[in-house]
């Protein structure tokens, strides 16, 4: 996990403590999230994809709503990133998320979900898609590796396009006990 360093006007630092800790050894939270990756429009992503291809980079692609980010999401993204040089995360837009998950979702707006994802070290690029599936986007990007959670092994949008271009399609085992839907249901069932 990366923490953003804050400016020098903060409380004194104690010699020997890492720079993100104060003199009492307490982790000092960042005021804002620092992007590690970059947000791209579809057109910008396709231009960048061409540069990555020229540079011989292996591009990995995954997608989802990523509403209410949890450890299962982070572990999947880290595993996906380990499969190549660049990880693209395509996030369902708010409208796409509503169609997939129902009128009460998303809980977090698309721009904020993008900001959270971009603060993760594993994520190099974030793009939004408004369609029900990212198949069209995947067909344009044609990543070398397409990754989805094992719960989607029955249907992986873009599989045909990636395999036809010589790429690999992989599923990652889910972390037991982590599901945004289950977390929301647990919260709503609290007295």
93 and 3 part of one domain:
no
96 and 111 part of one domain:
yes
Query: How many domains are there within the chain?
Result: 2
The answer to whether the pTM exceeds 0.85 is no
47 and 3 part of one domain:
no
At CA 133, angle to CA 117 and CA 70, rounded to 5?
30
48 and 4 part of one domain:
no
63 and 152 part of one domain:
yes
The per-residue pLDDT string of the chain (191 residues; one tens digit each, 9 = 90 and over) reads 333 333 334 344 444 444 555 556 666 555 555 667 999 999 999 999 999 999 999 999 999 999 888 999 999 999 999 999 999 999 999 999 999 999 989 999 999 999 999 999 999 999 999 999 999 999 999 999 999 988 777 889 999 999 999 999 999 988 777 777 778 788 878 88
At CA 48, angle to CA 45 and CA 51, rounded to 5?
155
Fill in the DSSP letter of residue 31.
Answer: S
26 and 63 part of one domain:
no
- CATH number for 108: 3.40.50.620
* Residues 143, 140: Cα–Cα separation, whole Å: 9
75 and 143 part of one domain:
yes
56 and 128 part of one domain:
yes
Range list of H helices, 19-172: 42-54, 71-81, 94-101, 110-118, 135-141, 159-164
Residue span of the structural domain in which 56 resides: 38-188
71 and 122 part of one domain:
yes
Distance of CA 79 to the CA centre of its chain: 11
153 and 127 part of one domain:
yes
22 and 52 part of one domain:
no
User: Tokens in use for 84?
Assistant: 């190549």
């Amino acid at each position: 996990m990366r923490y953003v360093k804050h400016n020098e006007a903060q409380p004194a630092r104690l010699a020997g403590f890492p720079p993100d800790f104060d003199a009492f050894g307490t982790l000092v939270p960042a005021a804002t999230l620092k992007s590690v990756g970059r947000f791209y429009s579809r057109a910008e992503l396709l231009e960048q994809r061409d540069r990555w291809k020229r540079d011989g980079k292996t591009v990995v692609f995954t997608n989802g709503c990523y509403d209410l980010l949890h450890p299962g999401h982070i572990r999947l993204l880290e595993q996906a990133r380990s499969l190549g040089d660049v990880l693209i995360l395509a996030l369902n837009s708010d409208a796409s998320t509503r169609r997939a998950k129902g009128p009460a979702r998303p809980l977090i707006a698309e721009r904020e979900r993008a900001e959270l994802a971009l603060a993760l070290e594993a994520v190099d690029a974030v793009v939004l898609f408004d369609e029900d599936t990212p198949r069209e986007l995947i067909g344009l990007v044609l990543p070398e590796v397409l990754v989805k959670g094992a719960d989607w092994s029955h249907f992986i949008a873009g599989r045909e396009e990636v395999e036809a271009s010589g790429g690999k399609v992989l599923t990652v085992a889910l972390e037991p006990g982590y599901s945004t839907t289950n977390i929301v249901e647990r919260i709503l069932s609290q007295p």
